Homo-oligomer: A and B are copies of this chain.
Amino acid sequence: MSDDTSDFVVRERAPRRKRTDARRNIESLLEAAKTVFSTVGVDAPAKEITDLAGVGVGTLYRHFPQRSDLIKAVIEREIDACADAAPALAAEHEPGVALAKWLDRFTAFVATKRGFAAALHSGDPAFDGLPGYLMQKLGPALESLLKAATASGEIQARITAQDLLYAVAKLCAPMPNEDPDYGRRMVALLVDGLRSGESPH
C-alpha cells in the first residue's frame, strides 16, 4: 500500500511497444500473404506464406491466430494504401484527373482482389467489419477529391462519396463470365456523367 509505485500501478500501463523484430516479421508476413493470396488464392497453404516471409509457422499463428485475421489485415492494409493514394494524387494532378485516377485505382482494387469479394460473401462473421472499415477510410478520401473537383468546376457533385463508393464496389464485384473490363467501363460512364457542361441532359 505504501509502496511508492502504487500510484502507477493503477495508471494504464503503456504496453511497451512491440519488439522490432516482431514488427518486422508482421510486415514480412503481410507482404508475403498479399503476394501469395493474389497468386495462389486465399486458401493457399500457410507454409507457402511463411516460407516466402522467411519465418516459422509459429510466428504466423502467434500474430494471426485465425486465418481470417491475416486476410482481414491484408485487405485493410490495401484499403489503407488506397486511402493514402488520394492526397498523393491530389497533389500531382488537376482535381478532375486526380478523381478519375483515384477511382481507377479503387476499381482495380475491388475488381482484382478476388479475396475481397470472397471474404465478404463467405458468411464468416470475422469479416463483418470490413464494409464499415472501407467506408470509414475511403469515404473521406473520396469526399475530399470530389469536393476539390467540384470546387474547380470540373464536375458537378450529383452524388455523395458514399453512394459513389458503393456503386463502384457493386459494379465492379467480379462475376464469372463477365467482361472483366465491364466494371471499369461502368465506372467511367459514371464519372463522365459527373462532368459538367458537355452533355445537354
Contact = CB atoms under 8 A, between A and B. Distances in A.
A43 B176 CA distance: 21
A177 B121 contact: no
By size class, the interface of chain A is: 20 to 34
Contact of A128 (B121, B170, B177): B177
Copies in the complex: 2
A27 B120 CA distance: 31
Interface of A: 41, 114, 117-118, 120-123, 125, 127-132, 170, 173-177
28 contacts: A41-B123, A114-B121, A114-B122, A114-B123, A117-B121, A118-B118, A118-B121, A118-B122, A118-B123, A120-B121, A120-B175, A120-B176, A121-B121, A121-B173, A121-B174, A123-B174, A125-B176, A127-B176, A128-B176, A128-B177, A129-B176, A129-B177, A130-B176, A131-B175, A131-B176, A131-B177, A132-B177, A170-B170
